């Protein structure tokens, strides 16, 4: 079961006659959002997501991309709609299509206040920020490992923010570029920011979060001069003389407030294990270790068997073959072994008594397992 977080535009209405022009006035003239959505839906109701021609000519960008991602009835789709009647009507028509094409699917339309095209300042100061908050809420609700970001439809200016969310939160981002038929997957590149540069202004960030906005003078009074250029993008003037978080600033603050993510390190043995286990169908060790190192919830859910000396086993899911023997030390997720479930069962049997496997691992770690090297150095 996957949750697709989709920006939503107006391409669902592309089969309507060119005149009168489709816009908010058209929606209002045709009975409002719900009635207009049914009229829009009728223009592509018979088109199939399994038909290559229909995907390009008849169906919306959102449906095209979801078809390429193999959406099914067990999934959830969240459509982030603009704060306009035409955007909402198109999102509702897409929802109608998905619910009838895939009985049982969960589909919701979330309206983003400030997301519109007439007021650029409102779009920048409210629309993008509200979009960022809404996406983060869904990721928190469903878990990063279960979500896919899909910025194919709607405002192209939301794409970089969506990609940044994916990088910070470890969420896949996929989209179809312009008129292409190929699905582009953006890697969940691990990015870090310099927390040490933010700590001196933490009281300022806490005040903005608490009060929504502060004066420009108050901001300038505590902004370190040497770091001003680097920190300025975190803030936005929401009205003359009043500063608040920019969308990037809110993302950084939200991440800063969370416990620092662990950094995965592989032992020499684990690196050899990695080369073997990644050839097993369904095993994606790098992706899994990145997820559990970034999310305390994912780490907690993955713990399968606790050993002594601080060692524990991680299990990705109910029907997975890969197992990970790990420990946590000074902000590092140390991965000692990566094995399939058969070897895992054997190690469990051996881990008994005073001469247990866990005891020997700790005693012999320097000779047999060190050095532990950052996993990112192995990703290529």
Q: 127, 135 in Cβ contact below 8 A?
A: no
Q: 94, 63 in Cβ contact below 8 A?
A: yes
Which helix (H) or strand (E) is 25 found in, with range? helix 24-29
Q: What is the pLDDT of residue 184?
A: 80
Q: What is the pLDDT of residue 189?
A: 59
What distance in Å separates the CA atoms of residue 199 and residue 379, rounded to the nearest whole number? 31
Q: 193, 216 in Cβ contact below 8 A?
A: no
What distance in Å separates the CA atoms of residue 263 and residue 336, rounded to the nearest whole number? 14
Residue carrying the six token digits 């001069």: 225
Q: What is the pLDDT of residue 353?
A: 57
Q: What is the pLDDT of residue 367?
A: 65
CATH fold of the domain at 3-186: Rossmann fold (3.40.50)
Q: What is the pLDDT of residue 59?
A: 92
Query: What's the alpha-carbon Rg for the chain, to the nearest Å?
Result: 25
Quote the tokens at residue 111.
């309206």
Domain parsing of the chain, residue ranges = 3-186, 199-256, 263-378
Q: What is the pLDDT of residue 380?
A: 44
pLDDT, tens only, 261-316? 688 899 988 999 999 998 888 888 998 998 888 887 788 889 988 877 788 999 99
- Could you check whether 3-186 and 263-378 share the same CATH topology? no
Residue carrying the six token digits 């990970």: 324
Residue 62, number of CB atoms within 10 A of its CB: 28
Q: What is the pLDDT of residue 344?
A: 87
pTM equals 0.64
Which helix (H) or strand (E) is 133 found in, with range? helix 128-142
- As a whole number of Å, the end-to-end CA separation of the chain is 29
Q: What is the pLDDT of residue 305?
A: 80
* 263-378: in CATH 3.30.2310.20: yes
Can you list the residues of the chain whose pLDDT is less than 50? 380
């Amino acid at each position: 079961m996957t949750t697709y977080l989709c920006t939503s535009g107006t391409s669902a209405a592309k089969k309507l006659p060119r005149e009168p022009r489709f816009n908010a006035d058209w929606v209002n003239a045709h009975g409002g959002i719900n009635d207009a959505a049914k009229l829009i839906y009728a223009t592509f109701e018979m088109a199939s997501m399994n038909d290559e021609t229909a995907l390009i000519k008849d169906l919306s960008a959102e449906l095209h991309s979801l078809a390429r991602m193999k959406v099914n009835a067990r999934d959830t789709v969240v459509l982030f709609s603009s704060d306009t009647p035409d955007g909402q009507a198109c999102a509702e028509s897409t929802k109608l299509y998905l619910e009838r094409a895939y009985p049982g699917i969960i589909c919701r339309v979330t309206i983003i206040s400030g997301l519109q095209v007439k007021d650029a300042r409102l779009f920048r100061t409210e629309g993008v920020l509200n979009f960022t908050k809404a996406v983060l809420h869904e990721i928190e609700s469903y878990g990063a490992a279960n979500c896919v970001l899909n910025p194919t439809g709607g405002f192209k200016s939301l794409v970089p923010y969506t990609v940044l969310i994916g990088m910070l939160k470890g969420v896949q981002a996929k989209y179809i570029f312009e008129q292409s038929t190929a699905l582009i997957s953006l890697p969940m590149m691990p990015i870090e920011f310099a927390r040490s540069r933010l700590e001196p202004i933490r009281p300022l960030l806490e005040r903005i979060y608490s009060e929504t906005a502060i004066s420009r003078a108050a901001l300038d009074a505590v902004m370190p001069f040497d770091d001003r250029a680097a920190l300025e993008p975190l803030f936005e003037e929401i009205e003359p003389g009043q500063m608040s978080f920019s969308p990037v600033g809110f993302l950084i603050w939200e991440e800063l407030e969370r416990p620092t993510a662990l950094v995965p390190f592989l032992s020499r043995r684990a690196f050899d294990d990695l080369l073997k286990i990644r050839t097993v169908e369904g095993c994606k060790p790098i992706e899994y270790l990145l997820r559990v190192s970034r999310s305390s919830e994912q780490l907690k859910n993955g713990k399968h068997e606790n050993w002594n000396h601080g060692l524990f086993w991680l299990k990705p899911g109910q029907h997975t073959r890969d197992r990970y023997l790990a420990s946590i030390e000074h902000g590092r997720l140390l991965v000692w072994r990566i094995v399939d479930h058969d070897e895992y069962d054997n190690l469990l049997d051996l881990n008994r008594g005073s001469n247990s496997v866990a005891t020997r691992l700790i005693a012999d770690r320097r000779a047999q397992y060190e050095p532990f090297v950052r996993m990112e150095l192995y990703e290529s």
